Homo-oligomer: A and B are copies of this chain.
Amino acid sequence: MPDTQHSNQTQTTAELLATLGGAARRAARAVAAADSGQKNSALLAIAGQLQTHRAAILAANAEDMANGRAKQLEAALLDRLELDDSRIDAMIEGLEQVAALPDPVGAITDLHYRPSGIQLGKMRVPLGVIGIIYESRPNVTIDAASLCLKSGNAAILRGGSEAIHSNRAIAVAIGEGLKAAGLPTSAVQVVETTDRDAVAAMIAMPEFIDVIVPRGGKGLIERIANDARVPVIKHLDGNCHVYIDDQADLNMAYDIAINAKTHRYGVCNAMESLLVASAVAEKILPRLAGGYANHGVELRGCEKTCSIIDALPATHSDWSEEYLAPILAIKIVANIDEAIGHISQFSSGHTEAIVTENYARARQFMAEVDSSSVMVNASTRFADGFEYGLGAEIGISTDKIHARGPVGLEGLTSQKWIVLGSGQVRS
């Protein structure tokens, strides 16, 4: 009997998701057709409703926090789960910021005449229905909803089960805001079941969902990418490199290498491996070692590195590691070719930087390094939607197709071809 019961539950969850999917598909047409003014009123109305429902949201969050503590969730997870007035203020501010961004939808580019007489161009259009699968932070519910709406998409949001009461309360505010702006409430739907099969169902319904954006740990994202039958915009990990060339300005190299590692540790655009041209290793490494020591950064070096500075011996796995911690792997390389070879072998394709004053090497690094952001003489920490002026960020893609690097509103859209004619036919 348990088997049957399980299969019944599965079916029920899949049916529930199909119902949400069908409603999202219908709502998507209305959101796509909404003009910028209507979408912005919806965003501001949702902000107003967060204000109105503030007490209810905080109460719901308190319930999630109590359950989380009872379940002895980790402190870091509880911190991400917790809402307070300032976090709700930040959600409201985020909605206002997205409302102020330019609307990407409908932009027509490259309109030109073809020899046949047709006028051909591209129009930016929403993708349709976006599925977001995320973990504990309830503010992602508002982030994701606002970016999907502004880019003309409907959204199905599947947050972590530990945040379910918070997400339901936020969903009420979103629904009220949509209604006030005359948009269907099913334009943004929060999956209200905590059944784990809901994720499996979501990633297997290409008829209802056009793209899945998973946000969370690498394990979650890998599982989703492996099983998904819907395209996935995924962010795996950020094993970022800085290469200090032998023609680098060594003061600049010092500043960038310190900043890229120590500005923040738990972020995907932090440097995890430092590559140093052997000709300058003896000059720069002792100074860097001093700087890192002041920040309490543990160094793990190749054999040559360990002969110059005090560092633990790096093992092979260190070159692939995303530490997200005050730890740095250091390798001395012969030249830029060995640096690029190392990056090509070990990088996760997120962000890499070269420090050099040599023109040809700067060009070579830019052309040959295949990562979503490639930098010359700047800290990897700049690889960020806000620093890039996207205004907001749904994630940082380490994929190659569709969107690479920080994904803002444009990454949630596509371009269709438009043809303006005056009766042309093919002959």
Assembly CA distance A405 to B233 (angstroms): 20
Name the contact of A378 in the complex, choosing from B344, B377, B402, B421 (C-beta under 8 A). Answer: B421
Assembly CA distance A259 to B404 (angstroms): 41
In contact, B231 and A231 (Cβ under 8 angstroms): yes
A77 to chain B, nearest CB (A): 27
Assembly CA distance A263 to B116 (angstroms): 16
Residues in B with CB closer than 8 Å to A425 are 255-256, 258-260, 263, 378-379, 381
A126 to chain B, nearest CB (A): 8
A355 to chain B, nearest CB (A): 8
Residues in B with CB closer than 8 Å to A123 are 366-367, 374
Residues in B with CB closer than 8 Å to A120 are 388-389
Assembly CA distance A118 to B353 (angstroms): 13
A267 to chain B, nearest CB (A): 10
- Chain A contacts with B in 89-117, Cβ cutoff 8 A: 106, 114, 116
Q: Given known contacts A420-B377, A425-B379, is B400 in contact with A404 (CB within 8 Å)?
A: no
In contact, A114 and B255 (Cβ under 8 angstroms): no
Residues in B with CB closer than 8 Å to A373 are 416-419
> What residues of chain A have their CB less than 8 Å away from a CB belonging to chain B?
29, 32-33, 106, 114, 116, 118, 120, 123, 125, 127-128, 210-211, 225-226, 229, 231, 233, 249, 252, 255-256, 258-260, 263, 344, 353, 366-368, 370-379, 381-383, 387-389, 399-402, 404-406, 414-426
In contact, B381 and A426 (Cβ under 8 angstroms): yes
Minimum CB distance partner of A412 in chain B = B401
In contact, B426 and A379 (Cβ under 8 angstroms): yes
Residues in B with CB closer than 8 Å to A368 are 29, 32-33
Residues in B with CB closer than 8 Å to A33 are 367-368
Q: Given known contacts A127-B401, A400-B210, A404-B414, is B114 in contact with A423 (CB within 8 Å)?
A: no
Minimum CB distance partner of A377 in chain B = B421
Q: Given known contacts A382-B419, A417-B404, is B426 in contact with A388 (CB within 8 Å)?
A: no
In contact, B401 and A405 (Cβ under 8 angstroms): no
Residues in B with CB closer than 8 Å to A382 are 116, 118, 419, 421, 424, 426
Minimum CB distance partner of A112 in chain B = B389
Residues in B with CB closer than 8 Å to A106 are 367
Name the contact of A377 in the complex, choosing from B367, B388, B422 (C-beta under 8 A). Answer: B422
Minimum CB distance partner of A253 in chain B = B423
Assembly CA distance A404 to B210 (angstroms): 13
In contact, A383 and B114 (Cβ under 8 angstroms): no
Assembly CA distance A378 to B425 (angstroms): 6
Assembly CA distance A226 to B424 (angstroms): 38
Assembly CA distance A263 to B422 (angstroms): 18
The interface centre, meaning the residue of A128, A255, A401, A415 with most chain B CB atoms within 10 A of its CB, is A401
Assembly CA distance A424 to B377 (angstroms): 7
Q: List 13 A-B contacts (CB under 8 A).
A: A118-B387, A123-B374, A252-B422, A252-B423, A255-B425, A258-B425, A374-B418, A376-B420, A378-B423, A379-B425, A381-B426, A404-B417, A405-B417
A162 to chain B, nearest CB (A): 29
Assembly CA distance A260 to B381 (angstroms): 53
A337 to chain B, nearest CB (A): 11
Minimum CB distance partner of A388 in chain B = B120
Assembly CA distance A43 to B374 (angstroms): 29
In contact, A416 and B405 (Cβ under 8 angstroms): yes
- 5 additional A-B residue pairs with CB within 8 Å, beyond A370-B416, A400-B414, A401-B414: A106-B367, A116-B387, A120-B389, A255-B423, A374-B416
